[in-house]
Amino acid sequence: MLRRSLRIPAAGVAYLLTAAMSSSAMASGPEEYADVAVSSGARAGPGTPAAMVIAHRGASRYAPENTLAAVDAAHRRGLIWVENDVQRTKDGRLVVIHDTTLKRTTNAAKLFPGRAPWRVGDFTAAEIARLDAGSWFGKRFAGERVPTLAAYLRRLDRNGQRLLLEIKSPKDYPGIEAQVVRELRTHGWLDRDHVRSRLVVQSFSVTTVKTVHALVPQVRTGILGAPDVRKLAAYARFADQINPRMSALSSRWLAAVHRLRGPHGRPLQVYAWDVAKNTSARSVRARGIEGVIE
C-alpha cells in the first residue's frame, strides 16, 4: 500500500485510546468484538468522533517500516493498532516485510551482490537475519533487523498492542494461510481475548481471506481493495472488513458496504488507506469510514 500523511490531532489519538479501552471493557460475549464502534455524523464537527487509526507498517514515519522499532514508535505515540505484512523465507519461516524483494529496505544487494532480484522467498531465515533493515531509514536505526512473525507477536503482546496482519503475495507462498494460523495459535493469538479485540487478518487475495475464514472462522478478516458492489454480498460471508484505497471510495459504495453484515453478524466495516495529506481522522469518520491505515 502507498503511504501518505494523515493528520491525527491530539484529540483523535486520545479518542482512539479511550474508545479502544472502553469498547474492550464492554464486550460481553465471544461473538461480540471489542472494536471501536462509533456513529457517523453529517459533518466533521466538534462532536464527531475520530476514525480508528492503524499504524501502517508500524509508525513508519518515525522508524523503519515493519520493524520492532516501528512497533515501539507506534506504542510511544499511543497507537494501539499496528498493521504489518507477512511473507515466507526459503526455509519456511514467516517474516515481516512489505516488498517481495529485500532490496529497498535492507542491505541485501550489498551483502549478497550476486543474488538479484533478492526475492524474500529465495533467502533463508538465517540469511535474512543478517540484514540491516534500518540504515536506509536513518543512521540511528543501523542494525535493525527484519523481524520474524514470532518476534513481532511477542513485541505486540509486550506493548499491549493489536494487529492488522496482511498476508502478502500469497500466490508466491502456497499454504501460507495455514502457516500463519499455526503461528498465531502457537503464540496465543487465537485465544478469546486476541480474537475478540486484538486481531484482524487481511489480504488483497480474496481466496486467501476465504481460506483464513475457513480455517479459523472466529477470526475477523478483511479484503483489501474496492470490489464491485455486486460482489460484496458474496464476500460478506467470510469477510468482516472491506479495506480500500481512499480515492476509490464513493458515498454510494460505502452505503452498499454498510448495508451488509459480515460472518459474525455485524455490519461490514471499512478501513481506508492511501489517505490524502492533511486529512483528519474526524473528517474520515464523518464520511462513514471506521478506520484508517496510516
Is residue 56 part of the annotated active site? The answer reads: yes
pTM to 2 decimals? 0.86
The domain defined by 6-26+33-219+233-293 carries CATH number 3.50.50.60 = no
Cell of 108: 541485501
Amino acid letter, residue 213? H
| Segments in the chain forming alpha helices (H) | 10-26, 68-76, 108-111, 125-129, 149-159, 176-186, 192-197, 206-215, 229-235, 251-258, 281-286
Residue 279: the pLDDT is 84
Torsion of CA 39, 40, 41, 46, to 10 degrees: 80
Which grid coordinates belong to 55? 499504524
Task: Choose the catalytic residue: 98, 187, 194, 213.
Answer: 98
Q: What is the pLDDT of residues 142-184, one digit of tens each?
A: 999 999 999 999 999 999 999 999 999 999 999 999 999 999 9
Length of the chain: 294
Domain ranges of the chain: 6-26+33-219+233-293
258 is a catalytic site residue: no
C-alpha–C-alpha distance, residues 100 and 169, integer Å: 7
C-alpha span between 97 and 1 (Å, rounded): 12
pLDDT tens across 91-128, in order?
999 999 999 999 999 999 999 999 999 999 999 999 99
pLDDT digits (tens, 9 = 90+) for 225-284: 999 999 999 999 999 999 999 999 999 999 999 999 999 999 999 999 998 888 888 899
